[in-house]
Amino acid sequence: MSHEPLSEPLTLRCGATIPHRIAKSAMSEQLGDRRNGPTRELAALYRTWASGGAGVLVTGNVMVDPKALGEPRNVALPATPSAAGYRAWAESVRGTEAQLWVQLNHPGRQSPRFLSRRPVAPSAVPFADRGVRSAFATPRALTPDEVEAIIERFVLAAKTFVDAGFAGIQLHGAHGYLISQFLSPLTNLRTDEWGGDAVKRRRFLLEIVRRTRAAIGDRVPLSVKLNSADFQRGGFGEDESLEVVRELDAAGLDLLEISGGTYEKAVMMGAAKESTVRREAYFLDYAAKARKVSEFALMVTGGFATASGMTEALKSGALDVVGLGRPMTVAPDLAGRLLAGEDVRAERLCPKTGIRLADSLLEIQWHTQQLHRVAGGKPVDRRRGALRSLVHAGLNDPFNAFRRVRG
């Protein structure tokens, strides 16, 4: 099979062209400094990925509120931001084909107890899963004024990063974070203009998209990462998700990245059916349905393992961009090697303990620790074990939470 579709450029509806069809999807780096600003190590990590051949690099989630973090060392927009503080990060891809897009996020209720004693959310709904609930406090419901203020924080963040030289913006509307919480009938019990039915539940996302587009102009790529479904009974389902896709298309979005799941149902971490794994792409069926109701570019992340599988998915017409996440941690030069025609697989090497909650944490922490090695100029430690990774996380996260400056 010819793998030529992987190397073809793609012009988005805004007029911007991405160099080929392989993108690095967002992964939380946890490489912010004590004030949640970007570090030299963060720039070094993206320089490595850019040199490795990726066409688009989507950053890990940058939090729009410094008081609302998902992890201790998130990069977060300060109360009064300056574009100058992000230019070194933006320039890390200079001299390569790669385009650096920033992913903007707010954790909502998904901010751990050691970071937020009382996180905020659309409604005061705790996690249903007891294991997850032990790590996250019950949130309080946002006031209407606070909802408006958070929307404006997303807009301010987008404008700041475009001014800093970032090539595109992605809004994180998946995986159970705040935008996803507004979309779900399980977590959005509001009866005001921000909830009560499906139309009002998606207003939060659509307002952010509308105002962000107005702030950054028509020529900057604007993307959303959206759940195909939450995979929870009574939650945000596929039919409702496709209605959101229709409205995002009408709003002039350039690219939609398709994912799925939440902290309670972590489908994005690889809990897929065997038939889906064999076909490689976790969300390909949904992508085909989204294609029928939209005209923007579609990116699918999750499950891809081989160049032939990626090529087959592109030739199917269901998607335009292949997203790679954790395999790019194990092999930062993976995109370049795939494009060069090497017989290489997108590997997933994280060890397992057999304990569900521990393995969910391990999946994140093992890869984060590998990112830190690459950022520090060290090789990936493929033999790093589960116990060592969990102990390191257990010591390091509380320490970073204690030492960070709250602002």
- Domains, the chain, with CATH or none: 4-350 (3.20.20.70)
Q: Average pLDDT in the 347-371 region?
A: 86
Instruction: Kindly report the pTM of this predicted structure.
Output: 0.92
pLDDT at 393 over 70: yes
Q: Are 301 and 280 in contact (CB under 8 A)?
A: no
SS3 label, residue 364:
helix
| More confidently predicted of 316 and 360 | 316
pLDDT band at 276 (very low <50, low <70, confident <90, very high): very low
Q: Average pLDDT in the 137-164 region?
A: 98
Longest dimension (CA), the chain: 55
pLDDT score for 232: 73
Q: Average pLDDT in the 17-36 region?
A: 96
pLDDT at 265 over 70: no
Amino acid at 224: V
62: left (phi over 0), alpha (psi -120 to 50) or beta: beta
Q: How many Å apart are CA 264 and CA 217, to the nearest integer?
A: 37
Q: Are 307 and 3 in contact (CB under 8 A)?
A: yes
